[in-house]
Chain A
Amino acid sequence: MHRKQILVAAAPVLIGTLALSSCSSSKSSSGASSGGGGKPTYTIGFQGPLTGPNAQLGINIDNAVKLAVQQANASGQLPFTLKVAEADDQGDPAKGPTAAQQLIGDSSVVGVVGPTFSGATKAAEPLFTQAGLASVSASATNSSLTDPGNGFKTFFRIVPPDSAQGTSAADYMAKVLKAKSVYLIDDKSDYGVGLCGNIKSQLGADGVAVTSDSVAAGTNDYSAVATKVANSGTQAAYYCGYYADAAPLAKALKNTSYAGKTLSDDGTNDPKFISLAGPASESWQFTCPCLSAAAATDATTQKFVSDYTASAKQPPGTYSPEGYDVANTLIAVMKPLGTNVTRAAVVNGLRSVDYKGLTKEIKFQPNGEVTEKGIYVYAVQNGKITELGTVDTLISKG
């Protein structure tokens, strides 16, 4: 409690200084600065957690963006030089606006990949709209983000919303796992509560008994929750949240007599979950609107995996392919604009873009939602995340 008070007191000061510093830095690099070869330089921004307990998800996307930009520059076909600017929001809604302001203040930034987490997106998006700067998220899936009522005019995302994931996850548990009862646990974040809410309503429609519970992320003990799950006699438990908290929950569940299925979402679908939970991660399943690069067999994706591994010194993780697609979509929009790339032109370009990415064909609906949807199911088998297929194909197989 004492620490919180200090943070509260320090926050305005911090935001003030950051805003000042970003103002001053924007003056020095006003407009598109000329690169070495006489070409103008434009910047693609990235916003997401690069530090903090859930940093891996941000790093996965950041590395993919860097790779896409590096490849685009090396191709020699661009009428401009591209740079990447990173803004670390730690995945924290409270830090979202500050990070967004950093990117907005740098006038060479013409498009942003991110924000990464839904909570931070919600907090940052009013600023992006005000600045007329396009932000294309590769991972923020909270359904309400694309509500017209929000007025987020420059927000796009290439992943289907939680409502789609929630519906598919519920159908998967009801029709493929044939669970008669499901225990839902959310982490009280925007993302977790939204997703679990969607799952719950679809499970109700599927005629499955639901018990709901919520545990704030960062709680120090999951043993009581695990005991509740075990005692409820449920056939499946679904955690709506991120791997940093899913892992201790998995460990606690392993300590009980619980024998039902364990599932979680795209926030947990990361090798980090396995390293944190250890043997307790075995046979957990994840629904994810994401394509796993490691499990893919086509040549383009395999080339992406090897290029990514070479440049990032680690294999691609969750949302790396999506991050790569977003960066390349932005580049595809910017390229025809030649040396007249402006923030407004990028936003307009995104409205009509049709780009064939690694994960899907990227076309946006007027509300910024991607047209193509597809929810995949993954499972931890022998300490590795393995793709089981899309929910639709699994249901049709029975």
Chain B
Amino acid sequence: MCLSQHFWQFLVPGITLGCLYALIAIGYTLVYGVLQLINFAHSEIFMTGGFAGLFMVQALTNVGVVPSGAQSWLIMFAGISCGALFGGIVAFLLERVAYRPLRRRNAPRLIYLITAIGASLFLFNLAGKLFGRDKVNIPAIYTNGVVFTVFGAQVRVQQLIIVCTAVFMMLMLDLLVNRTKLGSGIRAVAQDSQTASLMGVNINRVISQTFVIGGVLGGAAGFLFGTYLNVHYQMGFLPGIKAFAAAVLGGIGNIRGAMIGGLLLGIVESLSQSCMSSQWIDVVAFVVLILVLMFRPTGILGQRLGRAA
């Protein structure tokens, strides 16, 4: 009963949030696909994107003036690109500095995980030191009016921008992975890295590029998330964990799985709110994860980047 009442009002923010989770989840899944590594520092790439976009927007807007029309589009585009760019750069550096030396030494799996946690701690504390530990508001870029109404639920500019950007980026990624040479490289490394290298695939370059792609998506998501809420040095923590759960939910290592997992998690989180107290919001996400894993241990779409995607 509680579900049917105001179903659409809860579905709209759920889809918005789900798209953001999906964008972040792709970063986890891509890296897992090629390296079998849970890159816990990915949540900090997300945070970097938030701050980079924030500074870009701060530089482009005047205090107290809300831009409109073409200016809004331009600033929004600049913010997203800046978030994506810096997300990509940090992901690239992370791979170079933290993971590549380990790979060269053939370090055991556990060392990668500890390194990932260390890198995460380092990055968010560095951001806290550099940018302050207070939350920061991204100045308004557009007037957040109602665009249209579906079954009584208002859809606003912000939600539309987040969903459209996310869907566009996911479509592009899907094309990239399935249709381009780089994509077949990524799939080859994910399937069998040794054979791929025998076939002439430059593994180091592919891994680097995979990190950058994940970083670009994560950074853009960071900025979008920042406009939705606030930017903060620890903003990556909770969305990062949720997105990781989403990646596992969809089948870790599977790109389309991450998209579906993220979307599903966002929607379930939002819809469940109509039936129970908000303090259960984080519980619901993980209960869904556990339930799915009980019946499908490899996630909804199953693992393996190479085969399913």
- The interface residues of chain A, by DSSP majority, are classed as helix
* B139: chain A residues within 8 A (beta carbon): 278
Q: Within 8 Å of chain B (Cβ to Cβ): is A225?
A: yes
* B279: chain A residues within 8 A (beta carbon): 188, 213-216
B134 touching A225, Cβ below 8 Å = no
* B16: chain A residues within 8 A (beta carbon): 223
Looking across the interface, which residue of chain B has its beta carbon closest to that of A274? B137
* A352: chain B residues within 8 A (beta carbon): none
Q: Within 8 Å of chain A (Cβ to Cβ): is B56?
A: no
The stretch among A250-258, A309-317, A390-398 that forms the contact with chain B is: A250-258
A257 touching B154, Cβ below 8 Å = yes
A52 touching B10, Cβ below 8 Å = no
Q: B130 → chain A, closest Cβ, in Å?
A: 14
Q: Within 8 Å of chain B (Cβ to Cβ): is A19?
A: no
B17 touching A223, Cβ below 8 Å = yes
Q: B252 → chain A, closest Cβ, in Å?
A: 16
* A220: chain B residues within 8 A (beta carbon): 229, 235, 238-239, 242
B278 touching A214, Cβ below 8 Å = yes
Q: Mask for A228-261, Cβ within 8 A of B = 1, else 0?
A: 1011000000000000100110010011110000
A256 touching B144, Cβ below 8 Å = no
B277 touching A213, Cβ below 8 Å = yes
B270 touching A244, Cβ below 8 Å = no
Looking across the interface, which residue of chain B has its beta carbon closest to that of A228? B273
Q: Within 8 Å of chain B (Cβ to Cβ): is A275?
A: yes
Looking across the interface, which residue of chain A has its beta carbon closest to that of B279? A214
* B36: chain A residues within 8 A (beta carbon): none
Q: Within 8 Å of chain B (Cβ to Cβ): is A201?
A: no
Q: Indicate which residue in A3, A51, A272 contacts B237 across the interface (CB closer than 8 Å).
A: A3
Distance, CA A342 to CA B144, complexed state (A): 59
Q: Mask for A184-225, Cβ within 8 A of B = 1, else 0?
A: 010010000000000000000000000001111011111111
Q: Indicate which residue in A3, A228, A231 contacts B120 across the interface (CB closer than 8 Å).
A: A3
Q: Indicate which residue in B66, B134, B144, B230 contacts A56 across the interface (CB closer than 8 Å).
A: B134
Q: Indicate which residue in B117, B144, B273, B282 contacts A227 across the interface (CB closer than 8 Å).
A: B273
* B298: chain A residues within 8 A (beta carbon): none
A213 touching B270, Cβ below 8 Å = no
Interface size class of A (residues with CB under 8 A): 35 or more
* A366: chain B residues within 8 A (beta carbon): none
A224 touching B278, Cβ below 8 Å = yes
Distance, CA A276 to CA B229, complexed state (A): 9
**Size of B's binding interface in residues, CB under 8 A:** 44
A276 touching B282, Cβ below 8 Å = no
Q: Within 8 Å of chain B (Cβ to Cβ): is A55?
A: yes
* B293: chain A residues within 8 A (beta carbon): none
Distance, CA A225 to CA B13, complexed state (A): 10
Looking across the interface, which residue of chain B has its beta carbon closest to that of A256? B154
A1 touching B241, Cβ below 8 Å = yes
A254 touching B144, Cβ below 8 Å = yes
Q: Indicate which residue in B158, B235, B278 contacts A213 across the interface (CB closer than 8 Å).
A: B278
Distance, CA A279 to CA B136, complexed state (A): 14
Distance, CA A222 to CA B225, complexed state (A): 12
Q: A244 → chain B, closest Cβ, in Å?
A: 6
Looking across the interface, which residue of chain A has its beta carbon closest to that of B237? A3
Most chain A CB within 10 A, of B139, B237, B281, is at B281
Q: Within 8 Å of chain A (Cβ to Cβ): is B156?
A: yes
Distance, CA A227 to CA B6, complexed state (A): 9
Q: Mask for B112-132, Cβ within 8 A of A = 1, else 0?
A: 000001001100000000000
A221 touching B17, Cβ below 8 Å = yes
A215 touching B278, Cβ below 8 Å = yes
* A277: chain B residues within 8 A (beta carbon): 137
Q: Indicate which residue in A55, A215, A224, A255 contacts B269 across the interface (CB closer than 8 Å).
A: A224
Looking across the interface, which residue of chain B has its beta carbon closest to that of A244? B135
* A51: chain B residues within 8 A (beta carbon): 133
Q: Within 8 Å of chain A (Cβ to Cβ): is B51?
A: no
User: Known contacts A248-B229, A277-B137, A279-B140: does B13 contact A223 (CB below 8 Å)?
Assistant: yes
Q: Mask for A25-68, Cβ within 8 A of B = 1, else 0?
A: 00000000000000000000000000111011000000000000
Q: Within 8 Å of chain A (Cβ to Cβ): is B222?
A: no
Looking across the interface, which residue of chain B has its beta carbon closest to that of A56? B134
* B184: chain A residues within 8 A (beta carbon): none
* B13: chain A residues within 8 A (beta carbon): 221, 223-224, 226-227, 255
* B135: chain A residues within 8 A (beta carbon): 53, 244, 247, 276
* B228: chain A residues within 8 A (beta carbon): 223, 251
User: Known contacts A3-B237, A223-B16: does B281 contact A53 (CB below 8 Å)?
Assistant: no
* A272: chain B residues within 8 A (beta carbon): 134
Distance, CA A278 to CA B5, complexed state (A): 31
Q: Indicate which residue in B66, B229, B238, B239 contacts A222 across the interface (CB closer than 8 Å).
A: B229
Distance, CA A219 to CA B136, complexed state (A): 16
A215 touching B133, Cβ below 8 Å = no
Which B residues from 9 to 46 make CB contacts under 8 A with A?
A: 9-10, 13-14, 16-17, 40
* A230: chain B residues within 8 A (beta carbon): 9
B140 touching A276, Cβ below 8 Å = no
Q: Within 8 Å of chain B (Cβ to Cβ): is A13?
A: no
Distance, CA A234 to CA B38, complexed state (A): 44
Q: Within 8 Å of chain B (Cβ to Cβ): is A299?
A: no
* A213: chain B residues within 8 A (beta carbon): 277-279
| Pairs across A and B, CB under 8 Å, 24 listed | A3-B120, A188-B279, A213-B279, A214-B277, A216-B282, A218-B238, A219-B281, A220-B235, A223-B17, A224-B14, A224-B270, A224-B273, A225-B278, A228-B274, A231-B274, A244-B135, A247-B135, A251-B229, A255-B156, A275-B137, A276-B230, A278-B137, A278-B140, A279-B140
Instruction: A213-B277, A247-B230 given; name 20 further pairs at CB < 8 Å.
Output: A3-B117, A3-B120, A3-B121, A214-B277, A215-B278, A215-B279, A220-B242, A221-B281, A222-B229, A223-B13, A224-B10, A224-B14, A224-B269, A224-B274, A227-B6, A227-B9, A254-B144, A255-B144, A256-B154, A279-B140
Closest 6 CB pairs of A and B: A223-B13, A224-B273, A220-B238, A215-B278, A248-B229, A214-B279
